[in-house]
Amino acid sequence: MHRSALPLAVLLAVITLAGCTGTPTIQSGPDAETIDGRLYRVDHTAARLVYVDPTVAFSRYQRILLTPLGLDNVAIIQPGNSSASLARKRDWALTDDDRAGLRKAYREAMVKELVEKGGYALADAPGDDVLEIAAALTELAPNAPRDDNQARSAGRSQIFTEGAGSMAVTVAFADSQTGEILALSKDRRQSPQQWGLNNRVSNLAEVRRMFASWARQVRSGLDRVHGGG
C-alpha cells in the first residue's frame, strides 16, 4: 500500500460531509465491510455510508469533471404534516422544470466553490489527471405540497412549516478515464428547523443552501489534499 495514500483517501471520502463523529478510520482485516473487496467502509463519519479504496493517492488528480446531477431514481417522501393535510390531495412529483432547476442549482454551487473560490480547473473531457465527481439526488422529502394552483387549494396558498424538508445525495468519486469508483459517500441534509413561509421561493433558497454546503465540503477536502494539510 502507498504509505501516503491512506490519509488522502480518508480525506476525500469525507469531503462531502458536514462533520465527523471522530477520526475517520478505514476498516481493515478479515471482518472489514467492503464493496467487491476493494472499497472499504470508513467509520466515524457523519454520513450514513462512506466507502473508499485505501490504495489510491488522490493527489494525482488535478482537474475535475462534473457530471450533471443524477435525478433518475429520486424517492419522494410525500409531505404528511398538518398543513399539507389541509391542502388538496395530490402526489408531489418532479417536473421537467424542477429537474432543470435542481441541476442548475447544483452546478452553480459546485462551480462557485471549486472554480471561483477554490481556483480549481474544470475539465470537459476525461483525462489521466481528471477526477470525476458524480452526485445523484436519491431522496426528497418536502414538508408541504407543491406551490401551485393544483396542489394548494384556494385560501391555502400560504403554508407555514418547520423547515422546507430534507434531501439525500449519493456522491461517487471516480477515475474519469477508467470509470473506476474510488470513493462513495451518502449524506443527508435537513433544512433549518425554523417555522416560516413555505413556497417555491423559500424552497429554492433552501435547495441552493444545501448544495452550497456540499460544495464547500468538497472544496475544503480538495484544498487539504493538494495543500498537504
Class of the CATH-defined domain 62-218 = alpha beta
> How many CB atoms are located within 10 Å of the residue 132 CB?
22
Listing DSSP states for 84-116 in one string gives HHTSPP------HHHHHHHHHHHHHHHHIIIII
With a threshold of 0.95, does the pTM exceed it? no
CA distance 74 to 140: 7
Question: Is pLDDT of 165 > 90?
Answer: no
Split at pLDDT 50, 70, 90, the class of 229 is very low
Split at pLDDT 50, 70, 90, the class of 135 is very high
The cell 428547523 sits on which residue? Answer: 193
Helix 96-111 and helix 200-227: axis angle, to 10°? 40
pLDDT for res 45: 74
Among the residue ranges 119-123, 124-128, 165-169, the one predicted with the least confidence is: 165-169
Question: Is pLDDT of 3 > 50?
Answer: no
CA distance 71 to 227: 33
Ranges of each domain in the chain: 62-218
